[in-house]
Amino acid sequence: MLSSISSQQKSPSLLSPWSIAIFFTWTVTSFLCHFFAKHFLGAMGESMSTGRARGFSSAQLKSGAINATLLSIFQVGLCYILVKVRCPGGKWNLVLVTACHIGATWFTNVSMACVFASSTFAIKLMEPITSALMQFLILGTPLSPLAVLSLPVIVGGAIIFSGSPISESNFSFGIAAAFISNIVLALRNVSLKMDSAKQGQTEISLKPVTRELVIFVMLCGGSGVVAWTQGYLPRRMVYLATTCTLSGLFHVIYSYVSTGVVLLHLSVVSHAVTNILKRLLVVILLYVTGSRSASPFNFLGLAVCTLGLFVYAWSKKSTQSHLEDDRKVKRDSTSWATSLTKLTSIIISLLIISLGVNKNLPGSKELKIVIKSPELTLLAPAPSTVYQFDRTFSQEAHNLPRRENLVPDMDSYLAPQADNIHQFLQEDHYREPNRSSFLSRQLLTPAEISNEAQRIHFDVIGKALGKFKYAMLLDIASFENKGDPCITVGEVYFLARIKLEIVYYCSAATSCSYGNMQKAAQKAQTFSVEELVILIHGGGNISGYAFSDIHRFFILNAFRNYKIFVFPQSIWVRFQNFEHPHFKRCINHYCCNENVTFVMRDHLSYSIAKKYFHGATKFILAPDMAFQIGPVKRFMSPVFDIMWIRRGDAETPGYSNIPAPPPGIRLHVSDWWKWQTPGASNSLEKAHYICTNGFFYLQRGRVVITDRLHGHILATLLNIPHVIIDNKAHKLSAYHNSWTASLENTVLTDDPSKAVDLAVELLHKYNGSLPPRVPFLHIDETLIEDHTFDKPEMSYP
C-alpha cells in the first residue's frame, strides 16, 4: 500500500517497469470507468447523447443531471468505502480535496450525459493549460517559454485527433461541464501539492478489505443473481446495476492511481501532460471498441500532439533541477509491489466480469464491443409501430419508405452507440461492404431488424440499380419450398418501391427454358445497355446445386453485354471440396466479368467469394430479400406448442431421432415442402400464394424449431420465438451471426437432440405473451365410427 511517502528520493524513471505498470493501470481503468459510465448514462436517459448541434430542453438537462448525480454518488461512495486519505494540513484541506474530486466527477458525468464521449475527452485534453495557469497563479511555479509553447501544440493536436468534436456540439451544456471539470481537477491537484509542500506528503491508501465487507458483498451479489435468474429483477435493472457498479469500481482504482501514485511522482503540469497521453490512448480505445474509423487528418493530429509532448519533456529537462516539486518523493519498493499485486488482481477480476456484460458478436473479422440494455424484460411483447405493419400487405406496400422511418430509435438502448451508428449510417457500404452488418447485429426487435435490412437494400442495392429504367427478373421461385417464393415476393416489392419497371420475368420451375431465355435475350436488344439491367433471383444455391449454376452460366453468357445483378445469395460448397470440378467451373464463370455484381447474403459467403472468385466481378453484402415483406402480424391461432420444420434433403443437419416432448406439450414435425398451396394462373401469382402459405404454416406453432434458413427469417418477421438448428455447411449460423445475432427470442444450436428442450424453454419464457393453442383439441370426436382425416402434409413418424 502506498501509505508513507517522504521527500528525499527521486521519482522513479518514466521507463521503469513500475512506472509503465502504473501508467498501464491508470489508462485501462480510466477507459473502463468512462466506458461503463457512458453506457449507464445512455441507458438511463432519453438520449441526450446524439451530440448534435441543437438546444436541449430544460427537461432533458434535468434528466441528464439527475442521472449523472446518481452515478457520481455511487462512484464517490465507493471511493469513501475503499480509499483512505490523510491530509497533514487538517480537516479543511481534506474537505477541499474531497469537494474538488466530487465536483470534477459530477461535471464529467454531466458532460458525458449530454454529448459524445469523444467530445468530453477532447475538452478534457485541455487540462494541461488549466493546470499550468493554476500552478502559475497559485503556486508561482515558473514555466519556460518552450513549455508554454508546447501546451497549445499538445492540445491542438489532441483535438484534431479526436475529430473536432467541438464543432459538432456547438459549445453545448456538456462542453461547458467538461471545461468546469478541468478547472475543478486543477484545483484539486494544486491543493494536494500545496498540502504536500507545507505539511508533508498526503497519504492515500486503499482500506483493508474486512471479512464483514466480503460477506456483505457476496450476500448482495448472490441475492441479486438468484433474483435475476428467478425473474424477479428485469434485465434492464440488472444491466444498469452492473454497468454502474463496474464504473464505480474502476473509478476507485483510476482515482487512487491518479491522485495517490501518479500525481505524487510528478508536478501538477507534468501530471496533466502525462494525462494527455493517457487520454489519447483512451480515445484510441473508444475508437477501436466502437468500430470507429480515423482519417489521415485525425492521425496527423496525433502526430502533432506527440511532438508537443516531446517538446514539453525537453523543456522540463533544463528546469528540473530548479523545481523541488519532483524531489519530495520516497518510494517503498515493497509497498509498490504489494499495491501493484492487489491492483492487478482487482483489474483482472473486473475484466472477467466485464466480459459477461459485453457481447462481441461474431460473424465478421472486425473488432467490436457491444453492450445492450434492453428496455423490456422479454422481446415478444415489444410493441411495433403502426407504420411498420401498415407497410406490409397494404396500400403502402409499393411505396418507397422514408429513410428516417427505417432508422432505429437512438433514444433507447442504442443511445450508448449513437455516435458510432450515426457515423455508420454515413458510410458507403456499396464500396466497402465489410461493415454492412454493424447495426443489424445490435438490434433487438424483429421489426428493427426488418427495417435495417430494407435500409441496406435501398442504400446498397438501390444505389447500384438507380440509374436503370427497366429490368428483367429471371429465375423467380414458384415451387413449394416456401423460403424461395418469399425471396421472390421481397424482390418484387423492392423493385416496385424503387420504381424499376419489370419488362420480363420467368420462373426457374416453369418458364425459364432455354428457348424462352433466347427470346428474352432478343427482347433485351430493344433496350439500350444504359436503361436495362438483368436481375437474377437470390437464394442459397451457388456451387451446391449444379443445375442452378449451369442455368446461371447460360444467363451470364446470353446477356453478357448488359449489366447483370444477382440478388443476395449464399455459397454452399458440398463437403468443403474447393477442388471439385464443378466449383472450378464456378470460379471460371463467376470471377472475371466486370458487368456482373453478386450480392452475398452473409459474411462467410462474402469471404469465400472474395477468396475464390476474385477478379473483375463485383461482390457486395446485404441481407435476404424476403425482409422486404416487412413485419407480419399473426393471423391465426396455433394448434401446436412446437412446430418443427425438418428438411430431408442434402442440406439436412442429420437426425437420428426426434426427442419426445414433455407431457402436455403438443409437437408436430414436418417439412413445409409437403404443405400444399392452391394453384395460380402464373408463376408470380403462385409465388405470392406459396409465401403466404409459409406464414400460415409457421403460425401453427406457438414456437418454432427450424433447420431451414427461411424458417428463421419468416419466424423473425412473425416475431415467433424459435430455435435454429445449424447444418454442416453452417448456412444458418452464417446468416444468423451476420444479421440477426442480437435477437433474444432466437436460440442457435448445432445439436438437434437439444432442440425440443430449447423450444420448451422458449415456451416457458414467453408464455405470457404467446397466443394459446386452439382449445379442446384433445377431445376425441370419433365416439362410434373411426374416421380417417386428410393429412395436410406428410409427417415424420
The phi, psi pair for 672, rounded to 5°, reads -70, -5
Asked if the model's pLDDT at residue 545 lies above 60, the reply is yes
Query: Same domain, yes or no, for 287 and 183?
Result: yes
Q: Is residue 571 part of a domain?
A: yes
Task: Round to whole Å and give the CA distance between 497 and 76.
Answer: 55
User: Which residues are paired to 724 by β-bridges?
Assistant: 706, 748
Rounded to the nearest angstrom, the gap between the alpha carbon of residue 734 and the centroid of all alpha carbons in its chain is: 17
Query: Same domain, yes or no, for 646 and 608?
Result: no
Q: Is residue 788 part of a domain?
A: no
User: Which residues are paired to 597 by β-bridges?
Assistant: 565, 618
Per-residue model confidence (pLDDT) at position 2: 34
Exposed, middle or buried, 5 (CB in 10 Å: 0-12/13-18/19+)? buried
Task: Round to whole Å and give the CA distance between 411 and 422.
Answer: 13
Top-confidence range, 1-10, 54-63, 724-733: 724-733
Per-residue model confidence (pLDDT) at position 571: 96
Query: Same domain, yes or no, for 295 and 273?
Result: yes
Query: Same domain, yes or no, for 615 and 650?
Result: no
The residue assigned the cell 418477421 is 717
Average pLDDT, the chain: 78
Per-residue model confidence (pLDDT) at position 82: 82
Nearest CA to 44 among 279, 306, 234, 240?
240
User: Which residues are paired to 565 by β-bridges?
Assistant: 535, 597
Q: Which residue has the higher pLDDT, 163 or 16?
A: 16
Amino acid at 770: L
Picking from 168-177, 335-344, 725-734, 757-766, which range would have the lowest pLDDT averaged per residue?
A: 335-344
Q: Which residue has the higher pLDDT, 426 or 396?
A: 426
Contacts of 226 (CB under 8 A, 6+ apart): none
Query: Same domain, yes or no, for 198 and 320?
Result: yes
Q: Is residue 158 part of a domain?
A: yes
Cell of 219: 450476500
Per-residue model confidence (pLDDT) at position 300: 73
pTM for the structure as a whole: 0.56
CA distances from 676 to 5, 490, 651, 739 (A): 84, 21, 21, 30
Q: Which residue has the higher pLDDT, 433 or 176?
A: 433
b/e map 372-386, b = 16+ CB within 10 Å: bbbebebbbebebee
Task: Round to whole Å and give the CA distance between 797 and 795.
Answer: 6
Reading across the β-sheet that carries 722-725, which strands appear in turn? 667-670, 640-645, 701-706, 722-725, 746-749
Query: Same domain, yes or no, for 622 and 540?
Result: yes
Are 710 and 482 in contact by the 8 Å Cβ rule? The answer is yes
Asked if the model's pLDDT at residue 684 lies above 80, the reply is yes
Picking from 165-169, 170-174, 607-611, 615-619, which range would have the lowest pLDDT averaged per residue?
A: 165-169
CA distances from 471 to 28, 500, 564, 590 (A): 55, 7, 10, 21
Angle between helix 173-199 and 127-134 (nearest 10): 40
User: Which residues are paired to 645 by β-bridges?
Assistant: 670, 706
> Where is the domain boundary, 629, 648, 663?
629
Per-residue model confidence (pLDDT) at position 583: 96
Query: Same domain, yes or no, for 551 and 427?
Result: yes
Task: Round to whole Å and give the CA distance between 205 and 248.
Answer: 17
When pLDDT is cut at 50, 70 and 90, the band that residue 382 belongs to is very low
Query: Same domain, yes or no, for 113 and 209?
Result: yes
Question: Which tens digits make up the pLDDT trace of 641-659?
Answer: 999 999 988 898 988 788 8
Question: Which tens digits make up the pLDDT trace of 101-134?
Answer: 788 888 888 887 776 665 666 666 666 667 766 7
b/e map 754-779, b = 16+ CB within 10 Å: ebbebbbebbebbeeebeebeeeeee
- Domain count for the chain: 3
Picking from 23-37, 218-232, 739-753, which range would have the lowest pLDDT averaged per residue?
A: 218-232
| Mean pLDDT of the 426-446 span | 93
Are 718 and 697 in contact by the 8 Å Cβ rule? The answer is no
Q: Which residue has the higher pLDDT, 616 or 396?
A: 616
Q: Is residue 5 part of a domain?
A: no
Task: Round to whole Å and give the CA distance between 617 and 614.
Answer: 7
Q: Which residue has the higher pLDDT, 375 or 293?
A: 293
Cell of 573: 460448397
When pLDDT is cut at 50, 70 and 90, the band that residue 95 belongs to is confident
Task: Round to whole Å and give the CA distance between 560 and 589.
Answer: 11
Are 528 and 562 in contact by the 8 Å Cβ rule? The answer is no
SS3 for 505? strand
Query: Same domain, yes or no, for 556 and 655?
Result: no
Q: Is residue 608 part of a domain?
A: yes
Nearest CA to 666 among 780, 775, 748, 788?
775
Task: Round to whole Å and give the CA distance between 710 and 499.
Answer: 27
Q: Can you give the residue range of the structural domain that contains 311?
A: 17-215+235-335+353-357
Q: Is residue 274 part of a domain?
A: yes
Asked if the model's pLDDT at residue 222 lies above 90, the reply is no
Query: Same domain, yes or no, for 562 and 657?
Result: no
Rounded to the nearest angstrom, the gap between the alpha carbon of residue 620 and the centroid of all alpha carbons in its chain is: 21
- The helix or strand, by DSSP H or E, that contains position 74, with its residue range, turns out to be helix 58-82
Task: Round to whole Å and give the CA distance between 77 and 71.
Answer: 10
Q: Which residue has the higher pLDDT, 94 or 569?
A: 569
Query: Same domain, yes or no, for 545 and 655?
Result: no
Gyration radius (Cα) of the chain, Å: 32
User: DSSP letter string over 83-126?
Assistant: EEEE-TT-HHHHHHHHHHHHHHHHHHHHHHHHS-HHHHHHHHTT
Per-residue model confidence (pLDDT) at position 740: 96
Query: Same domain, yes or no, for 586 and 656?
Result: no
Nearest CA to 188 among 250, 244, 107?
107
Asked if the model's pLDDT at residue 453 lies above 80, the reply is yes
| Mean pLDDT of the 650-670 span | 90
Question: Which tens digits make up the pLDDT trace of 282-333?
Answer: 766 766 664 444 556 666 766 776 677 667 656 655 554 444 444 343 333 3
Q: How many residues does the chain have?
A: 797
CA distances from 210 to 214, 217, 316, 419, 527 (A): 6, 11, 44, 42, 84
Nearest CA to 672 among 484, 446, 542?
484
When pLDDT is cut at 50, 70 and 90, the band that residue 340 belongs to is very low
Question: Which tens digits make up the pLDDT trace of 351-371?
Answer: 444 444 443 333 333 333 333
Contacts of 286 (CB under 8 A, 6+ apart): 31, 35, 117, 118, 121, 292
| Mean pLDDT of the 743-761 span | 94
Q: What is the DSSP letter of 329?
A: B
Cell of 594: 466486370
User: DSSP letter string over 227-292?
Assistant: HHHTTSS-HHHHHHHHHHHHHHHHHHHHHHHIIIIIHHHS-HHHHHHHHHHHHHHHHHHHHHHTT-
Cell of 756: 425440443
Per-residue model confidence (pLDDT) at position 324: 43
